[in-house]
């Protein structure tokens, strides 16, 4: 039945008489945009049905390219895996010869004769793959009452035409609402400056609620799909309004005229993905007060700040993105680590959280950072982010990376006598560069040092390019805050004897205690089941909560996978000494100079 539906769709397009001659050519350019039509009225088979109208392909445009990855995901995606049918037609509707020549590329034998390219491509949410599962916030979903459309998961481009403008006609039910940062042309079609722009512009459409707000002259829009209507855009707007105002103060004004938040509440909580003028969020459906407990405002704070990095501050690798072969920028710490630091620091400085809350969040980041390799630098993590090892360590960019950004801020404040911190340097870099001006990938450390202090070169070398132990006690003492790695409580507590980490969606054992390790489990084992129940991202938290409630000596069972082999272990909770790790507290004996620097640290300068 599904094959019949697809063939009927293709036949309809052949008979419809659609022609690129009807596509308006851009004034003064002499070339037509790549004109796409996407049928979203037929959603029964979870396939996007795409048509591209183009009439000026040449030999150098003979390969049609789907994305191997996308900016900001730092994962191999290979979107060509989801293509189900690919065809090219001439002006008379005759099929031209095509052949798939790699995972993401299709060769067209007579490109000069092409007038239409048509293909079907499966949504990523419900399509199983053997490896490199695409993050839900960076993937596509087709359901009866809504569609999540991400440009890199639906569109490709003829080689040599990555910079060509795009016009996109979406056919969808009349009663649907569309949320996107893209603008419409006079025909009601969505316009993108080039392929990079459509990849940078997610679209959510369907049964959505909408709310908007003006922040310092910038229009903020919120579109929300809620599976059972438990969450409305107005609720989200009310919960994040203070965050948006705090961000505007931190950035010294917003660098965008319009910004769009897209929220998707359905069956899984996985996080968010930033874009230049929008961000896309995927969370499980729940009553709104419970969602606030998942710290959505803090996530919004992080994603929203990406209008600075990497929109305004990015290297040439990000600006000239390679969709054919993933190429990593070593400055991931700038794009993600400083942004994560900002998300929390701007809340402290605006009074949304107090100092004690900020220090507790810092402590948590250091505890999580212990789960990752201590000899793996932020630079190495960035350059190897597309590898298996990099994916395993990736989450540390938000943990150790954010801590390093915080240390850098204090060091800058110290060297400047409390007059200039990381916030001020970021805003200065934003003015030096911008959306259309990239910094050199190989020269950025020197540039950063030139606009700050000579001593910063050693800091970047030691703690970004290399993995020297972080001078936490030394640097935090400069603002009158004491840091203690461990505080022994003198009590015993029950422990499962391991923690878990979730790099790239895989649930792995970490910090396995010696008492548990001697029974078989190891760090890096992939957790498959707990007490006979399959473990998933959806039930991981309840499973860990249940295990936490057990007393020392109570049994439990784990099934793990190691190097392709499944293993079952019968274990029991152990008793360990209770230790508080990574303790920060204000020093009551701080000097006047330390207090003065702390006061500067706690405000926007």
DSSP string, 316-339: HHHHT--SSS----TTHIIIIIHH
The answer to whether 369 touches 399, Cβ cutoff 8 Å, is: yes
What percent of the chain is predicted at pLDDT more than 90?
Answer: 67
Is pTM, for the whole model, over 0.85?
A: no
- Alpha-carbon gap, residue 360 to 358, rounded angstroms: 5
Which carries the bigger pLDDT value, residue 591 or residue 493? 591
- Residue range 80-91: average pLDDT? 98
- Residue range 169-174: average pLDDT? 97
Summarised one tens digit per residue, pLDDT across range 103-129 is: 999 999 999 999 999 999 999 999 999
Summarised one tens digit per residue, pLDDT across range 325-364 is: 888 899 999 999 999 999 999 999 999 999 999 999 999 9
Q: Which domains does the chain have, with CATH numbers?
A: 2-15+32-202 (2.60.40.3650), 207-298 (3.30.2010.30), 308-484+586-605 (1.10.390.10), 497-572 (2.30.42.10)
Summarised one tens digit per residue, pLDDT across range 279-331 is: 999 988 888 877 665 577 888 888 888 888 887 888 988 877 888 988 889 99
**What is the chain's mean pLDDT, rounded?**
89
Determine how many CB atoms are found less than 10 A away from the CB of residue 63. Answer: 19
The answer to whether 205 touches 172, Cβ cutoff 8 Å, is: yes
Quick one: pLDDT at residue 292?
Answer: 63
What percent of the chain is predicted at pLDDT more than 70?
Answer: 94
- Alpha-carbon gap, residue 497 to 515, rounded angstroms: 7
Quick one: pLDDT at residue 567?
Answer: 94
Which carries the bigger pLDDT value, residue 124 or residue 1? 124
Which carries the bigger pLDDT value, residue 19 or residue 507? 507
- pLDDT tier, 16 (very low <50, low <70, confident <90, very high otherwise): very low
Quick one: pLDDT at residue 4?
Answer: 28
Please, what sign has the CA dihedral across residues 291, 297, 298, 300? Answer: positive
- Give the pairing type, strands 218-226 and 258-266: parallel
- Alpha-carbon gap, residue 175 to 42, rounded angstroms: 15
CA distances from 294 to 270, 271, 459 (A): 11, 10, 34
Q: In the chain, what's the furthest Cα-to-Cα distance? A: 85
């Amino acid at each position: 039945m599904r094959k019949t539906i697809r063939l009927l769709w293709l036949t309809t397009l052949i008979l419809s008489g659609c022609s690129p001659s009807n596509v308006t050519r851009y004034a003064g350019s002499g070339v037509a945009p790549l004109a796409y039509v996407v049928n979203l009225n037929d959603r029964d088979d979870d396939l996007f049905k795409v048509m591209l109208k183009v009439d000026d392909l040449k030999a150098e445009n003979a390969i049609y390219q789907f994305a191997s990855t996308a900016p900001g995901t730092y994962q191999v995606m290979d979107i060509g895996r989801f293509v189900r049918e690919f065809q090219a037609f001439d002006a008379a509707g005759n099929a031209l010869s095509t052949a798939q020549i790699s995972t993401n590329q299709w060769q067209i034998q007579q490109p000069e004769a092409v007038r239409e390219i048509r293909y079907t491509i499966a949504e990523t949410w419900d399509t199983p793959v053997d490896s490199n599962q695409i993050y839900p916030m960076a993937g596509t979903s087709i359901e009866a009452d809504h569609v999540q459309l991400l440009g890199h998961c639906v569109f490709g481009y003829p080689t040599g035409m990555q910079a060509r403008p795009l016009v996109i006609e979406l056919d969808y039910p009349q009663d649907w609402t569309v949320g996107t940062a893209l603008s419409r042309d006079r025909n009601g079609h969505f316009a993108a400056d080039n392929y990079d722009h459509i990849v940078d512009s997610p679209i959510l459409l369907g049964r959505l609620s909408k709310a908007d707000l003006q922040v310092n002259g910038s229009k903020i829009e919120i579109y929300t799909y809620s599976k059972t209507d438990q969450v409305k855009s107005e609720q989200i707007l009310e919960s994040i309004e203070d965050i948006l105002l705090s961000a505007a103060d931190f950035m010294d004004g917003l660098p965008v005229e319009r910004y769009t938040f897209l929220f998707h509440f359905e069956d899984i909580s996985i996080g968010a993905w930033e874009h230049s003028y929008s961000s896309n969020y995927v969370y499980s459906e729940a009553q709104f007060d419970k969602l606030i407990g998942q710290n959505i405002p803090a996530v919004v704070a992080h994603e929203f700040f990406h209008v600075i990095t990497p929109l305004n501050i990015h290297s040439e690798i990000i600006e000239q993105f390679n969709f054919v072969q993933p190429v990593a920028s070593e400055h991931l710490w700038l794009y993600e680590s400083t942004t994560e630091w900002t998300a929390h620091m701007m809340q402290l400085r605006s009074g949304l959280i107090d100092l004690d809350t900020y220090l507790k969040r810092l402590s948590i980041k250091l505890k999580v950072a212990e789960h990752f390799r201590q000899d793996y630098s932020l630079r190495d993590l960035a350059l190897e982010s597309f590898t298996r090892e990099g994916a395993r360590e990736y989450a540390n960019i938000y943990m150790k990376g954010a801590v390093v950004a915080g240390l850098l801020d204090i060091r800058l404040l110290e060297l400047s006598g409390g007059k200039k911190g990381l916030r001020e340097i970021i805003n200065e870099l934003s003015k030096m560069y911008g959306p259309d001006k990239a910094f050199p990938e190989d020269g950025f450390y020197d540039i950063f040092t030139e606009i700050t202090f000579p001593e910063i070169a050693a800091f970047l070398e030691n703690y970004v390019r290399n993995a020297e132990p972080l001078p936490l006690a030394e640097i935090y003492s400069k603002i009158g805050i004491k840091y203690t790695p461990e505080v022994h409580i003198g009590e015993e507590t029950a422990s499962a004897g391991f923690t878990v980490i979730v790099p790239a969606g895989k649930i792995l054992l970490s910090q396995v205690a010696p008492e548990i390790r001697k029974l078989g489990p190891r760090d890096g084992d992939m957790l498959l089941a707990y007490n006979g129940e399959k473990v998933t991202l959806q039930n991981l938290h309840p499973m860990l909560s249940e295990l936490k409630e057990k007393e020392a000596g109570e049994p439990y069972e784990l099934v793990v996978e190691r190097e392709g082999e499944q293993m079952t272990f019968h274990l029991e909770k152990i008793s360990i000494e209770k230790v508080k790790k990574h303790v920060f507290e204000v020093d009551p004996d701080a000097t006047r100079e330390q207090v003065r620097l702390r006061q500067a640290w706690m405000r926007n300068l």
